[in-house]
Amino acid sequence: MSTTIPIVHSEEVREALHEHRPVVALESNVITHGLSYPHNAETAHQVEAAVRKGGSVPATICIEDGAIRVGMTAADIERFASEGGIPKVSSRDLPVVLARGGRGATTVASSLVAAELAGIPFFSSAGLGGVHRGAQTTMDISSDLIQLTRSKVAVVCAGAKMILDLALTMEYLETQCVPVIAHGSDDFPAFYCASSGIRAPHRIDDEDLIAKVVATHWAAGHPGGVVITTPPRDEDAVDPAVAEAAINDALVQAERDGVTGQGLTKYLMHAVDRATGGRTAQANMAVLISTAEVGGQMAAAYARYQSDHS
Ligand code: PSU
Ligand code: MN
């Protein structure tokens, strides 16, 4: 007996995929664990609207009743946003939650698994998980990076979360042969801030050329994804010195409270939000939305490229 993974598409997403129209996959962990109610629900809807503005159909992903849901309804989003206790499901948790018939919110990593299974080659989020500061001893590297080496999905984001060691994150992506293309800036962005201080290996502002790069990476037989970065808009970005000071305090608090592992990212992000009086949470929401619009544009460019070369 072979095992198939139940996937429930929303009608809109199913039709879009059937007609080869561009679709952008989106995660749900940011709804349950990244932002607080009701901002999380409002932001999820604004993110979907931004994907549409960019020219694509949004497909927010979650796990419900042991099935991957591709395209959450407004009622699904409201439930995930307002109910507590919905678990964070990363790639390694996925088979357990599916087999048990459970539910959960997908991280970048598990959303990439789901997107590939659903036939969606583009995904967008504000900031990737990456190599944590101090990973030399903790070995805490987000599964988001490992999954990027395994799923053929292009990820549009504002770089990786600034709470991470971004230099090591870039090293990891280089080692693992994941192309990083900066759109609209020379540097790899730092999620809240326009620059991480690290130059991106390639800058390409032409979306059609980016589409060709993605298609070429896959034509060359690579099993993984491509990272396409877009910087936060000037009006949304946080002063790097303010963010860095709050991050350093948050890291000290996390160490004092003995927080490690799966809960660390959420702990750090929330500590930084409190220390900045909500300034970083506000930036997080704005960047999710602006990135989603660029994701919509990139997926549309890729769909055009595919139809011109099929
Ligand atoms: N907390 C947030 N925002 C987020 C996340 C957590 O405030 O976006 C997420 C994303 O879902 C990302 C995950 O995929 O955290 C990475 O977690 P970890 O570093 O444990 O791999
Ligand atoms: Mn981790």
Ligand 1 pocket list (CB less than 6 A): 27, 29-30, 33-34, 107-109, 129, 142-144, 262, 265-266, 269
Does residue 2 belong to any structural domain of this protein? no
Could you read off the pLDDT of 184-229 as tens digits, one per residue?
A: 999 999 999 999 999 999 999 999 999 999 999 999 999 999 999 9
Which residue minimizes the CA distance to atom 18 of ligand 1?
142
Does residue 120 belong to any structural domain of this protein? yes
Q: Is 27 among the catalytic positions?
A: yes
**pLDDT band with cut points at 50, 70 and 90 for residue 310:** confident
What is the percentage of the chain residues whose pLDDT exceeds 70? 100
Does residue 1 belong to any structural domain of this protein? no
Does residue 308 belong to any structural domain of this protein? no
Yes or no: say if 192 and 280 are a contact pair by the CB < 8 Å rule.
yes
Element (H, E) at 202: strand 202-203
Beta-strand (E) ranges in 37-182? 57-64, 67-70, 88-89, 104-106, 122-124, 154-157, 180-182
**pLDDT band with cut points at 50, 70 and 90 for residue 304:** very high
Q: Looking at the whole model, is its pTM more than 0.95?
A: yes
Q: Which ligand is nearest to the CA of 160?
A: 1
pLDDT of residue 1: 72
Could you read off the pLDDT of 73-110 as tens digits, one per residue?
A: 999 999 999 999 999 999 999 999 999 999 999 999 99
Strand partners, 128: 160
Q: Which ligand is nearest to the CA of 142?
A: 1
Does residue 180 belong to any structural domain of this protein? yes
Yes or no: say if 298 and 122 are a contact pair by the CB < 8 Å rule.
yes
Total number of domains constituting the chain: 1
Q: Is 78 among the catalytic positions?
A: no
Does residue 71 belong to any structural domain of this protein? yes
Give the Å distance between the CA of 254 and the centre of ligand 2: 13
Give the Cα separation of 183 and 295 in Å (integer). 11
Domain with 259 in it: 7-303
Q: Which one of 116, 161, 207, 293 is the catalytic residue?
A: 161
Could you identify the atom of ligand 1 that is nearest to the CA of residue 164? 19
DSSP-assigned states of every residue in 7-42: EEE-HHHHHHHHTT--EEEE-SHIIIIIS-TTHHHH
Kindly report the CATH number assigned to the domain that includes residue 91: 3.40.1790.10
